Chain A
């Protein structure tokens, strides 16, 4: 039987040296932002019951989950997302605590992607959840935390902002079933104008149909609102639109300029979002690095109805870009290699500690002879070899 002794499963990889340093660097900066905003870390189990992720609103298909069973035959999955486990945790462990709570996580998630697409099946995610409160102050807190996080690791970025309520309100005005609504949603999400027009042409023309037709093209700066008010006039989408505009205006002191984009065609697959939704993009990364929003109904699924908002950051994608940019060097080569003659080992180790305490980079040689130590230093490019005893 063939043994897979030397390779890792598809979509996973080992992280070595500079890769770890870069990851620590990226995660450290983002963690700094989270901590300074008063978020406290939690860790949830790597495996959970399948039921936690099988909610209709979870947005994670069963093909995407790694599954196993426990010794009672119950179905378990390798955590494919952190928000649902946190909702589970809050609804049970923190049900009676003082609200709101600010939580953050830094843990890997697992997704079983189609083979040979080059996607990562295990990746590190960091994120925050602000749970137990609704309203504009909470939304602004989460949004500005996302902005500070992304700007701590990149200069050229965009944050795209939308509102789940716009499409919801418009589509509820149409006399269509859920399947048809989902088809419309998918075509807006993919900015697939021709498919969207085909779907809408089959419906009776009305204000909502016209508004939905324009949704995918309604993205950009503040000018979007003017057009949007015009087309949503007389529909129930107006309330969500006005709220989004208020958020946009509130963010204006941050002078984000074209870094902040409004996208009304932003209708996510995770349909647990109920209010604002946002994603973050960094120039040079072909996929969203931040995604989040308000999900006021999710906790009800766990019998603990309360408002909540949060976002997740794909720190691995940022780490990979940082390593490719080579702007930051993650070299860890020591300056001094310390060799101990027989009987002077502890003395030499103490010297290494002393040198490192003085800010020099010293390393204790574990090789048996001075000759081998010198050869190693030359190959590794270590300038100085010091002998003790």
Chain B
């Protein structure tokens, strides 16, 4: 039988996930010395790890070419459709927030507000729930710039420490939602390989609590 294949989000989430795998007793030397390889065996070939960009982790899992994935809730909210979200892994914690220039009265007046964001879907859902029609502009880089140069009234973005906001004279006026890393599973894989996936899930659950 093929080993379980797990897609990890490259970068910080990958490192913490590997630490977790080591804690539950898997040998991850191959992943640590990966060089340029993108598919790597873990433990005694018990499963293999695929390294991908966050949104691609979801794509690989949805299409079933990877059985499991580790990805941030931010990416799930923005890109996710159909898979199982099995476990909150508890690391990679941050929050989505609505921020404006310090002292700006965002909710006053009847004019349609403009929001700059890297996360148009999260933004749309947030304001839909408030029955508020906003104009959304997708920005690829530093979103903080948009209100400063007058492109937008506010931004919806990930906030960890808030120091970037502070340095640019912005402030959080509302928290949108909490974010952390999640373990996701392909729907068919969970049915076809229930035992293996459950075992791994239980072990991870034990060390993340």
Chain A residues proximal to chain B, CB less than 8 Å: 117-118, 156, 158, 160, 190-195, 219-220, 261, 263, 279, 281-283, 285-288
Contact = CB atoms under 8 A, between A and B. Distances in A.
Contacts of A192: 84-85
B191 interface: yes
A17 to B, nearest CB: 26
B191 A191 contact: no
Contacts, number: 55
B85 A286 contact: no
Given A156-B192, A263-B191, A286-B63, 11 more contacts: A190-B84, A191-B84, A191-B85, A192-B84, A193-B87, A193-B88, A219-B194, A282-B188, A285-B64, A286-B62, A286-B65
A118 B88 contact: no
B17 interface: no
B77 to A, nearest CB: 11
27 contacts: A190-B82, A191-B84, A191-B86, A191-B185, A191-B190, A192-B84, A192-B85, A193-B86, A194-B85, A194-B182, A195-B85, A219-B191, A261-B194, A279-B191, A281-B188, A281-B191, A281-B192, A285-B64, A285-B188, A286-B62, A286-B63, A286-B65, A286-B186, A286-B187, A286-B189, A287-B187, A287-B188
Given A118-B63, A288-B187, A283 B85 contact: no
B136 to A, nearest CB: 17
Given A193-B86, A193-B87, A286 B191 contact: no
Contacts of A220: 194
B85 to A, nearest CB: 4
Contacts of B191: 158, 160, 219, 261, 263, 279, 281
A141 B178 CA distance: 47
B119 interface: no
B83 interface: yes
Nearest to B1: A283
Contacts of B82: 190
A13 to B, nearest CB: 17
Nearest to A192: B85
The 8 closest A-B pairs by CB, nearest first: A286-B64, A191-B84, A194-B88, A192-B85, A281-B188, A281-B191, A158-B191, A286-B188
Interface string B37-73: 0000000000000000000000100111100000000
Contacts of A285: 64, 188
Contacts of A263: 191
B194 A283 contact: no
A282 B191 CA distance: 10
B59 to A, nearest CB: 8
A190 B84 CA distance: 4
Contacts of A287: 64, 187-188
A156 B188 CA distance: 12
B55 to A, nearest CB: 11
Given A219-B194, A261-B194, A288 B84 contact: no
A158 B84 contact: no
Interface string B152-190: 000000000000000000000000000000100111111
A193 B88 CA distance: 8
A156 B189 CA distance: 13
Interface string B66-99: 0000000000000000111111100000000000
Nearest to B62: A286
Contacts of B84: 190-192
A158 B84 CA distance: 17
Contacts of B59: 117-118
A380 B170 CA distance: 70
Nearest to B87: A193
B188 A190 contact: no
A198 to B, nearest CB: 10
Contacts of B188: 281-282, 285-288
Contacts of A261: 191, 194
A288 B82 CA distance: 11
Contacts of B86: 191, 193
Nearest to B89: A194
Contacts of A160: 191
A282 to B, nearest CB: 8
A304 B189 CA distance: 39
A341 B62 CA distance: 59
A281 B85 CA distance: 19
